[in-house]
Structure 1
Amino acid sequence: MKRYFTVRGGAGDVSKPDLNAKPQDNLYLAVNSEWLSKAEIPADKTSAGVNSELDQKIEDRVMKDFADIAAGKEKMPEIKDFDKAVILYKIAKDFAKRDAEKANPIQKDLQKLISLNNFNDFKQKAADLFMGPYALPFVFDVDADMKNTDVNVLHFGGPSTFLPDTTTYQTADAKQLLDTLQDQSINLLTMSGIGKSEARVYVESALAFDQKLAKVVKSTEEWSDYAAIYNPVTYADFIKKFKSFDMADFMDSILPVKPDRIIVMEPRFLNHAEELLNEGNFAEIKGWMLVKYINSVAKLLSQDFREAAFPFGQAVTGTPQLPSQIKQAYRLANGAFDEVVGIFYGQKYFGAKAKKDVEDMIQRMLKVYEERINANKWLSAETKKKAVIKLKALVLKIGYPDKIEEIFDLLQVDPKKSLYENEAAMSTVRTKYMLNKLTKPVDRSVWLMPGNLNNACYDPQRNDLTFPAGILQAPFYDINQSRGANYGGIGATIGHEVSHAFDNSGAKFDEHGNMNNWWTDKDFAEFNKRVGQMVDIFDGLQYGPAKINGKQVVGENIADLAGLACVVQTGENDGADLKDLFENYARSWMQKQRPEAIKTEVQTDVHAPQPTRVNIPVQCQNAFYDVFNVKPTDGMWLDPEERITIW
């Protein structure tokens, strides 16, 4: 039964400023309205705010470094593979060459798709296409086995649709977005040398196949149930699902070893595979692959192609302007060699003193988290014991990695070749590297995020926490700002990531990262009851032009709630100013977004929009009511029995 809350999210609309707002009525607006009233979103951005400003600060720093190194003004760093990133940057920023090349770099690969004559031809060439820069109408990946995380296994799923999410197809915007994509794709194919009438047929076929895919692939809400991707199927049973497409031959061609079983991430897609992959759908499959291909590679060609490939993305995000050429050059280099660039950033901009201080904060919070688990009134002693074991087994990754993953040694950049040729070659290397992991144990030292990223994460299959150097700076963290402000910023982030080990997905994995039920039935039933409360308190919450799907964002909201509860208690123990803590927590989620970007985010992101992540977690903290003297008549009041506690 759904719960109805007295007031959720405070009084007022967090998408609009209110200069008269008080913390007692709406903490987010009280802290951020002055900024909201003056903030302007840059023309090449979808939003402005604390996170986007920090992202820009990091990018500006490293863009200048790249420019100086490329020009010989700064010495090449003694970091393995960094020179490759600089070479790629130089190739990408040479728009005189890119403009002169026009569509020439892609002609050979484009012809591979155009020359497909029939379904039998597609079957014979599918393995070669999979290893190249193309999207096929199915996906393979290699990752740790959820029930034995020391070994890698093969995963299978469906491809992404043209629109951001399956739910987008049911919105009023769907037709306009698809019309924009259709016009853009016809234009790009025509610019590539295909006749306009032929291009139109390809695109219409592609859209027809995309509609079929949209009915069977997972929505973002479904993907948010992380454990639900684990559906082991024997090799024989998997192969039986494909009658028209020779999947056994395809897998023999691409895999280094024959697997005993496949982890099916999307059982519904597998059950409909034969309906999708057959002779009757060949024209649609071919058109779909062409549209996917041309829209993905256009950004690697001339400025004319970049501009021609912009309208659909603009319609989805509302961004008025393409990023500059020099920004694109940096982003391509950073994207290809992200870990290498992250190590450079961490070594140059992240200090040992700050790292030691952050480690101290994490250890204090882990101690408080253990205290909170042991003091929990609804967990049995048995489940508490296992939760503490998992907590103590957490591995910390702070700043940047000590070693570079092998893939970056394997990637090569040839200054004599075009940007597209280099990117296509690297794509093949990455695919081979991914598939070859089937013959190797899981490398637990691999970082999921580069050092220059403003973000953090928890990996349930490694039971580790990653805090890149990029996020370990103001306003989240500054060794010179108050302890309360640091707790409200990076402290809340630390608590959030620790809490992912115990959210609705993380709770299904043990201290080794294996999917393993370590709960009593009674405890897990009570846990799920509280998870349901988190779904209800966010479900249908209005933010700008969209309403939040409580189920889709519940894991992140649990982490926000539990993380804030932990950091508030740690702050109290540490004598921190809780007013500073709550205000910097609100400030750290400050954001202004374009309406189109809000719609897309709500459809595709497992995180609730940033402004909505402030008031509800705060409303559930008893200390907030004491610090700001909140009364039952105030907008931020939530009745005590409606304040949710999970960890």
Structure 2
Amino acid sequence: MSHTQSRAGKWLYTGAVAALLASSSLYAQKKIPAFEMSSLDKQYTPCQDFDNYANGGWKKNNPIPGTESRWGAFNVLDKENKEVRLKGIINDISQKTNLVQGTEEQQIADFYKSYLDVNTIEQRGLSPLNPFLAQIKSIQSLDDWWKACANLSRIGISSVFGVGVEADSRNSVINALYGGQDGLSLGEKSYYERTDESTQKVRAEFVQHVNKMFAMADWKAANIGQSILDFETKLAKLQLTNVQLRDPVATYNKVSIAEMDALAPQLDWNSYLDISGFKTDSIILQNKPYLTEVAKLVAGTDLDLLKNYLRWQVLTRFAGVLPGKFDKEDFHFFSTVMRGTKQQKNRVERAIRATDGSLGMPLGKLFVKQYFPESSKQKVSEMIENVRTVYGERIDKLTWMSEETKKEAHKKLAAFTYKIGYPDKWKDYSSIKISPDKLLENIVNTAMYRHGEAIKKLGQPVDKSEWMMTPQTVNAYYNPLNNEVVFPAGILQPPFFNANADDAINYGGIIAVIGHEFTHGFDDQGSQFDAEGNLRNWWTESDRKNFEALAKKYIDYFSSIEVLPGFKINGALTIGENIADLGGLTLAYHALEKSLEGKPAPKLIDGFTWQQRFFLGWAQVWHANITDAALRNQIQTDPHSPARSRINGPLPHLVEFQEAWGCKAGDKMVLPASERVVIW
């Protein structure tokens, strides 16, 4: 689940959860079992290894397809949404004739057509890149290079510095400009620093990859792969770690443009901002020392290398939509070497996903018309309000928090807002020019549209109705700057929500997801934002220390989990998601328990109590297989723990799990009371 920041209801039901979306055409097509008994592997016991007990059978029966690097509940549902439902929508549109230029149907149909037109892509070669390559070729000074960086940023091409627009963390009603580190091809600085054999192999493969891409482009540059790696390694040494980037206070450094000039006089910041289109007198920097040091780095780097670095950024950015040899080599390195994916999806499936990637909201409008009725919003609202009630009760029972801080926590909880399914209003995309025979230009034009939207936002009031995910996305998020939780229609399907399932399974699924997103408002990052979404300390000093001590204990717990030889979970990187999982499980369980008050206990289903089925519901949400390469990549770059650890990790901290399955002291899924962590 995403935690974004670019960065008192009544208990209305036991059976109401199962009524959600029951009338939807999405569910009318087929009934999906609440929990497949074939998913179990009884060679394991729940108290020794709950993941393999609950999911071992599923894992054996669902090997990773060759086109994937991981395969689990998210991937299966995402494939259904994109390669079945969106495919049907796109195919229907593509069969229409005389579509009007600028309409969403014309844009979708022509983008899709341009991706499938392989012959034209091959014939055009690298010529669509000529406008960008010509500017790079004309560079004769560091100032020219910096202007080229600014120009390329408008279409999403990285250089050593990146900018973006979102709400000012200390004044969350106004949009501000943010700036920070960028430009690493491997994505995270640990790839340039680790000395283990597998990471060294990735770097060696990267050198060969760059060499091959330049050779295929017929660009002459001696030892270019090693030169790019060496430059990016120097760049990586200047950057903050992904753990350091989690600190919203340390990474909030608002400076004037004049101060930027003083911090990095080698670079013309007024020119950069003017070319990129951002009119502002201030910017919020992640890290002021980085600005100073990166300016020194580029000023001391050979200009030919800087030009080749930009050529590389252009080539790698668009490789997937260039002639087949570039596409194939790009897939080989970034998908096979880095993530263990054996083969590409077929061209049609990739065309659907590319269309979704560029025109996701127009597609989303059509998706929800067919698959998410308006009536569903009310049912999800009821769920959310029930979780809010339980969260308030949990706050009142905390022993480590004072009444003063509890009062502020309640204030923040009461101010939570939420969005369900899809936006209440849709943006106008008619200005985007999409042609049936110019794929790369289509991608550039959609990127320019997004950049233009950012320019229009800067300095303006925040539009709190805006969505950061498309409706068909299989995910959810909490936005601390809006103090809101958001649940796209795409995730409100099995196994997260199943209209045919018993409440225990759904509480372990969608209710735990809702609780997870609520808890992000009170994790290591979200807890630093107040009810209005401003970065402000609302804690007493002693309460903050108590929270940080609990978080540190949970960090150390996850940091001890080794997922592959030499690769342990980074507890500090994953702490936000781990706290949210623990909180989501806790809230969902007690919400289910509360819904049953005064009612007869539910009957056994397949021999399991409702308590046991709750945890089976949690386990099936996260069942997954993953390649070793993808697992190594996740450990280094992803703030989420691997799926197996999201299942087994929090459960030993829950006495409810121990009681549900009759676990005893000494079992692997049981921790002594002194080692358990209870935060919310």
Provide the TM-score with structure 1 as the length reference: 0.92
Superposed, 1:318-467 pairs within 5 Å as: 318-406=340-428, 408-415=429-436, 417-467=437-487
For residues 148 and 186 of structure 2, what CA distance do their matches in structure 1 show?
Answer: 27
Opposite residue 229 of structure 1, the aligned amino acid is T
Q: Any idea what SS the aligned residue of 2:345 has?
A: coil
What is the Cα deviation at residue 423 of structure 1?
Answer: 1.4
CA distance change for structure 1 residues 126 and 45 in 2, over 3 Å: closer, same or farther? closer
CA distance change for structure 1 residues 480 and 356 in 2, over 3 Å: closer, same or farther? farther
Give 1:106's aligned residue. Answer: 129
Q: Is the contact made by 1:346 and 1:400 (CA closer than 8 Å) also made in structure 2?
A: yes
For residues 308 and 134 of structure 1, what CA distance do their matches in structure 2 show?
Answer: 19
What is the Cα deviation at residue 519 of structure 1?
Answer: 0.8
Opposite residue 670 of structure 2, the aligned amino acid is W
CA distance change for structure 1 residues 625 and 179 in 2, over 3 Å: closer, same or farther? closer
Q: Name stretches of at least 5 consecutive residues in structure 2 with no aligned partner.
A: 1-39, 597-601, 603-609
What is the Cα deviation at residue 380 of structure 1?
Answer: 1.4
For residues 640 and 186 of structure 1, what CA distance do their matches in structure 2 show?
Answer: 56
Give 2:29's aligned residue. Answer: none
Q: Any idea what SS the aligned residue of 1:199 has?
A: coil
Provide the TM-score with structure 2 as the length reference: 0.87
For residues 74 and 488 of structure 1, what CA distance do their matches in structure 2 show?
Answer: 47
Give 2:17's aligned residue. Answer: none
Opposite residue 653 of structure 2, the aligned amino acid is C
CA distance change for structure 1 residues 26 and 143 in 2, over 3 Å: closer, same or farther? same
CA distance change for structure 1 residues 633 and 206 in 2, over 3 Å: closer, same or farther? closer
**Regions of 4+ moved over 6 Å:** 73-77
Is 2:169 the partner of 1:146?
A: yes
For residues 564 and 508 of structure 1, what CA distance do their matches in structure 2 show?
Answer: 22
Q: Any idea what SS the aligned residue of 1:491 has?
A: helix
For residues 97 and 620 of structure 2, what CA distance do their matches in structure 1 show?
Answer: 36
CA distance change for structure 1 residues 229 and 340 in 2, over 3 Å: closer, same or farther? farther
Superposed, 1:285-304 pairs within 5 Å as: 285-304=306-325
Of 38, 62, 68, which residue of structure 2 is paired with 1:39? 62
Task: Answer with 58-67 or 540-549: which moved more.
Answer: 58-67
Give 1:13's aligned residue. Answer: none
Of 515, 519, 526, which residue of structure 2 is paired with 1:499? 519
For residues 156 and 458 of structure 2, what CA distance do their matches in structure 1 show?
Answer: 21
Task: Please provide the CA RMSD for this pair.
Answer: 2.3
Is 2:191 the partner of 1:171?
A: no
Of 277, 302, 307, which residue of structure 1 is paired with 2:328? 307
Is 2:154 the partner of 1:131?
A: yes
CA distance change for structure 1 residues 51 and 426 in 2, over 3 Å: closer, same or farther? closer
Task: Answer with 58-67 or 363-372: which moved more.
Answer: 58-67
Opposite residue 189 of structure 1, the aligned amino acid is F
For residues 585 and 83 of structure 2, what CA distance do their matches in structure 1 show?
Answer: 31
What is the Cα deviation at residue 132 of structure 1?
Answer: 4.5
Give 2:13's aligned residue. Answer: none
CA distance change for structure 1 residues 76 and 500 in 2, over 3 Å: closer, same or farther? farther
Q: Any idea what SS the aligned residue of 2:650 has?
A: helix
Q: Deviations over 1:230-277 (max 9, x none)?
A: 111233222112222222332244345231x22111333113133123
Q: Is the contact made by 1:354 and 1:479 (CA closer than 8 Å) also made in structure 2?
A: no
Task: Answer with 487-496 or 52-61: which moved more.
Answer: 52-61
Is 2:507 the partner of 1:487?
A: yes
What is the Cα deviation at residue 432 of structure 1?
Answer: 2.9
For residues 326 and 454 of structure 1, what CA distance do their matches in structure 2 show?
Answer: 21
Give 1:521's aligned residue. Answer: 541
What is the Cα deviation at residue 202 of structure 1?
Answer: 4.3
What is the Cα deviation at residue 31 of structure 1?
Answer: 0.3
CA distance change for structure 1 residues 80 and 611 in 2, over 3 Å: closer, same or farther? farther
Q: Any idea what SS the aligned residue of 2:177 has?
A: strand
Give 1:538's aligned residue. Answer: 558
Q: Is the contact made by 1:586 and 1:614 (CA closer than 8 Å) also made in structure 2?
A: yes
Q: Deviations over 1:336-362 (max 9, x none)?
A: 111222222222112345433322221
Of 10, 34, 47, which residue of structure 2 is paired with 1:24? 47
Give 1:189's aligned residue. Answer: 214
Give 2:645's aligned residue. Answer: 612
Task: Answer with 127-136 or 329-338: which moved more.
Answer: 127-136
What is the Cα deviation at residue 532 of structure 1?
Answer: 0.8
Q: Deviations over 1:172-195 (max 9, x none)?
A: 33442233223222332333342x
Task: Answer with 139-148 or 283-292: which moved more.
Answer: 283-292
Give 1:8's aligned residue. Answer: none
Q: Deviations over 1:14-37 (max 9, x none)?
A: xxx964111122221110111222
Task: Answer with 439-448 or 523-532: which moved more.
Answer: 439-448
For residues 204 and 542 of structure 1, what CA distance do their matches in structure 2 show?
Answer: 32
CA distance change for structure 1 residues 75 and 445 in 2, over 3 Å: closer, same or farther? farther
Give 1:3's aligned residue. Answer: none
CA distance change for structure 1 residues 289 and 53 in 2, over 3 Å: closer, same or farther? same
Of 274, 278, 282, which residue of structure 1 is paired with 2:299? 278
For residues 130 and 52 of structure 1, what CA distance do their matches in structure 2 show?
Answer: 31
For residues 344 and 216 of structure 1, what CA distance do their matches in structure 2 show?
Answer: 45
Of 560, 581, 586, which residue of structure 2 is paired with 1:565? 586
Q: Any idea what SS the aligned residue of 1:424 has?
A: helix
Q: Name stretches of at least 5 consecutive residues in structure 1 with no aligned partner.
A: 1-16
Q: Is the contact made by 1:202 and 1:290 (CA closer than 8 Å) also made in structure 2?
A: no
Q: Any idea what SS the aligned residue of 1:215 has?
A: helix
Q: Is the contact made by 2:145 and 2:306 (CA closer than 8 Å) also made in structure 1?
A: no
Q: Is the contact made by 1:177 and 1:315 (CA closer than 8 Å) also made in structure 2?
A: yes
Q: Is the contact made by 2:136 and 2:148 (CA closer than 8 Å) also made in structure 1?
A: no
Q: Is the contact made by 1:535 and 1:551 (CA closer than 8 Å) also made in structure 2?
A: yes
For residues 470 and 431 of structure 2, what CA distance do their matches in structure 1 show?
Answer: 18
For residues 582 and 343 of structure 2, what CA distance do their matches in structure 1 show?
Answer: 37
For residues 409 and 226 of structure 1, what CA distance do their matches in structure 2 show?
Answer: 36
Q: Any idea what SS the aligned residue of 2:458 has?
A: helix
Q: Deviations over 1:90-126 (max 9, x none)?
A: 1111112212222222233223223323324324544
CA distance change for structure 1 residues 123 and 614 in 2, over 3 Å: closer, same or farther? closer
Give 2:255's aligned residue. Answer: 233
CA distance change for structure 1 residues 373 and 244 in 2, over 3 Å: closer, same or farther? same
Give 1:257's aligned residue. Answer: 279
For residues 124 and 612 of structure 1, what CA distance do their matches in structure 2 show?
Answer: 46
Q: Is the contact made by 2:143 and 2:268 (CA closer than 8 Å) also made in structure 1?
A: no
Q: Any idea what SS the aligned residue of 1:277 has?
A: helix
Is 2:263 the partner of 1:245?
A: no
For residues 240 and 401 of structure 2, what CA distance do their matches in structure 1 show?
Answer: 33
Q: Is the contact made by 2:44 and 2:52 (CA closer than 8 Å) also made in structure 1?
A: yes
Q: Is the contact made by 2:93 and 2:109 (CA closer than 8 Å) also made in structure 1?
A: yes
For residues 203 and 499 of structure 1, what CA distance do their matches in structure 2 show?
Answer: 44
Opposite residue 181 of structure 1, the aligned amino acid is F
CA distance change for structure 1 residues 627 and 593 in 2, over 3 Å: closer, same or farther? same
Q: Any idea what SS the aligned residue of 2:474 has?
A: coil
Q: Any idea what SS the aligned residue of 2:279 has?
A: coil
Q: Any idea what SS the aligned residue of 1:551 has?
A: helix
What is the Cα deviation at residue 211 of structure 1?
Answer: 1.4
What is the Cα deviation at residue 328 of structure 1?
Answer: 1.7
Give 1:4's aligned residue. Answer: none
Give 2:657's aligned residue. Answer: 624
Identity of aligned residues (%): 29
Task: Answer with 628-637 or 271-280: which moved more.
Answer: 271-280
What is the Cα deviation at residue 507 of structure 1?
Answer: 0.5
Opposite residue 304 of structure 1, the aligned amino acid is K
What is the Cα deviation at residue 289 of structure 1?
Answer: 1.3
CA distance change for structure 1 residues 130 and 368 in 2, over 3 Å: closer, same or farther? closer
Superposed, 1:57-72 pairs within 5 Å as: 57-72=80-95
